[in-house]
């Protein structure tokens, strides 16, 4: 089961992204990024964080430890921004904490150009994302970090942020476990991900027993009131059924057709050209800064 800690000191909010998590120290002397139950993404995002994060760990991928963080808004009463204080007030009680990796760097296109990733490791991550229908690990937003920092041996690739995964739980009645998704723009698509080897290794490990153990870690309060299910236990069982069936149907959704770097560059160029054609003449002279890779950022600014 997830460890429980109590937040004791508020350090700062993280403003990149809509959920505005906060960095807190806790009574176990650890530092955590806390995601709140009162955020705009709702509790389903926290459910996805727990299920996908703990599944990643069970399959041998690197993912920061998750804890259940008891939070009293009074410890953050000095927060100057009203909207953040309101978020804290609406999130009193148990929230989700993720172990803070000090100095970790975002896996940006710039970092990706110099950081080696083994094709099998890439394949395992792509496979996990395809299994859990994680649509938010792209070349534009990798939700991957390198830690320890580059230059400190040995740096490793870590997964973070899975709140956008498990898209099927937003519409249970229309969820097909065999549905394929477009993963051509996956952040690791250029590394020749060996998804077939990953499938042979990982699919047999996604058992009903493992999924029951993982879903049991989600607090009842985060599952209560789900339309179509009378109890949190029924909701847990639905996650188990879906993910187990999806693992068994991997032949139908296994992503293997990744474009080359040149093909992606050509597609991006065509997109930029279409954008330019729609601009007025004066705006065409404004440089497009959004298409240029930014310098690697500290992990803390991309956890929202």
Q: Which of 199, 101, 185, 180 is nearest to 133 (CA)?
A: 180
Residues 6+ away with beta carbon under 8 Å from 259: 184, 189, 267
Greater pLDDT, 275 or 64: 64
Other C-beta atoms within 10 Å of 99: how many? 13
Q: Which of 138, 134, 140 is nearest to 181 (CA)?
A: 134
Q: What is the pLDDT of residues 31-89, one digit of tens each?
A: 999 999 999 989 999 999 999 999 999 999 999 999 999 999 999 999 999 999 999 99
Q: What is the pLDDT of residues 187-223, one digit of tens each?
A: 999 898 999 999 999 999 999 999 999 999 999 999 9
Q: What does the alpha-carbon distance between residue 264 and residue 184 come to, in Å, rounded to a whole number?
A: 9
Query: Which of the four pLDDT bands, split at 50, 70 and 90, describes residue 278?
Result: low
Greater pLDDT, 184 or 188: 188
Average pLDDT, the chain: 89
pLDDT score of 199: 98
Buried b / exposed e across 186-220, counting CB within 10 Å, b at 16+? Answer: bbbbbbebbbeebbebbbeebeeebbeebbeebbe
208-215 and 43-58 are packed helices; what angle lies between their axes, rounded to 10 degrees? 130
Q: What does the alpha-carbon distance between residue 179 and residue 168 come to, in Å, rounded to a whole number?
A: 10
Evaluate whether 246 touches 131 at the Cβ level (below 8 Å): yes
Query: In the predicted model, what is the mean pLDDT of residues 171-182?
Result: 89
Q: What is the pLDDT of residues 286-300, one digit of tens each?
A: 444 334 333 344 443
pLDDT score of 153: 72
Query: Which of the four pLDDT bands, split at 50, 70 and 90, describes residue 263?
Result: confident
For the cut 50, the answer to whether the pLDDT of residue 304 exceeds it is no
Evaluate whether 23 touches 2 at the Cβ level (below 8 Å): no
Bond into 62 cis (ω within 30): no
Q: Which of 271, 300, 288, 282 is nearest to 103 (CA)?
A: 300
Q: Which of 3, 300, 51 is nearest to 164 (CA)?
A: 51
Q: What is the pLDDT of residues 119-168, one digit of tens each?
A: 999 999 999 999 999 999 998 899 999 998 767 678 999 999 999 999 99
- Strand blocks (E) in the chain: 3-13, 22-26, 31-35, 66-71, 93-99, 105-106, 144-147, 156-159
pTM for this prediction: 0.86
Q: What does the alpha-carbon distance between residue 22 and residue 20 come to, in Å, rounded to a whole number?
A: 7
Q: What is the pLDDT of residues 87-129, one digit of tens each?
A: 999 999 999 999 999 989 999 988 888 888 999 999 999 999 9
pLDDT score of 291: 40
Evaluate whether 166 touches 51 at the Cβ level (below 8 Å): yes
Query: In the predicted model, what is the mean pLDDT of residues 273-279?
Result: 74
pLDDT score of 90: 97
Per mean pLDDT, which range of 83-87, 170-174, 300-304 is the poorest? 300-304
Evaluate whether 246 touches 211 at the Cβ level (below 8 Å): no
Q: What does the alpha-carbon distance between residue 120 and residue 188 come to, in Å, rounded to a whole number?
A: 11
Give, in order, the Cα–Cα distances in Å from 135 to each of 10, 59, 185, 223: 31, 19, 10, 22
pLDDT score of 288: 43
For the cut 70, the answer to whether the pLDDT of residue 243 exceeds it is yes
For the cut 60, the answer to whether the pLDDT of residue 283 exceeds it is no
Evaluate whether 147 touches 104 at the Cβ level (below 8 Å): yes
Q: What does the alpha-carbon distance between residue 121 and residue 241 come to, in Å, rounded to a whole number?
A: 27
pLDDT score of 280: 65
pLDDT score of 275: 74
């Amino acid at each position: 089961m997830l460890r429980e800690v109590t937040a004791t000191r508020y350090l700062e909010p993280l403003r990149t992204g809509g959920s505005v998590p906060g960095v807190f120290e806790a009574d176990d002397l650890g530092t955590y990024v806390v995601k709140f139950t009162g955020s705009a993404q709702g509790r389903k995002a926290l459910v996805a964080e727990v299920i996908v994060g703990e599944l990643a760990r069970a399959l041998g991928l690197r993912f920061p430890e998750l804890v259940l963080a008891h939070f009293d808004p009074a410890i953050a009463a000095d927060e100057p921004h009203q909207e953040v204080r309101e978020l804290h007030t609406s999130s009193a009680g148990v929230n989700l904490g993720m172990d803070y990796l000090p100095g970790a760097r975002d896996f940006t296109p710039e970092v990706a150009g110099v950081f080696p990733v083994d094709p099998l490791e890439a394949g395992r991550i792509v496979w996990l994302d395809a299994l859990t229908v994680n649509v938010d690990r792209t070349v534009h937003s990798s939700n991957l970090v390198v830690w320890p920092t580059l230059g400190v041996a040995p740096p490793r690739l870590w997964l973070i942020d899975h709140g956008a995964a498990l898209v099927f739980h937003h519409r249970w009645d229309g969820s097909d476990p065999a549905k394929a998704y477009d993963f051509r723009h996956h952040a690791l698509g250029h590394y020749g991900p060996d998804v077939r080897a990953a499938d042979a290794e990982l699919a047999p490990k996604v058992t009903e027993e493992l999924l029951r153990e993982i879903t049991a870690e989600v607090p009842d309060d985060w599952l209560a009131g789900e339309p179509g299910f009378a109890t949190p236990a029924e909701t847990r069982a639905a996650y188990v059924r879906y993910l187990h069936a999806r693992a068994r149907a991997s032949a139908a959704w296994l992503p293997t057709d990744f474009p080359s770097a040149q093909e992606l560059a050509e597609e991006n160029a065509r997109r930029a050209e279409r954008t330019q054609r729609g601009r007025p003449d004066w705006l065409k002279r404004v440089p497009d800064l959004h298409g240029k890779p930014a310098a690697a950022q500290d992990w803390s600014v991309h956890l929202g």
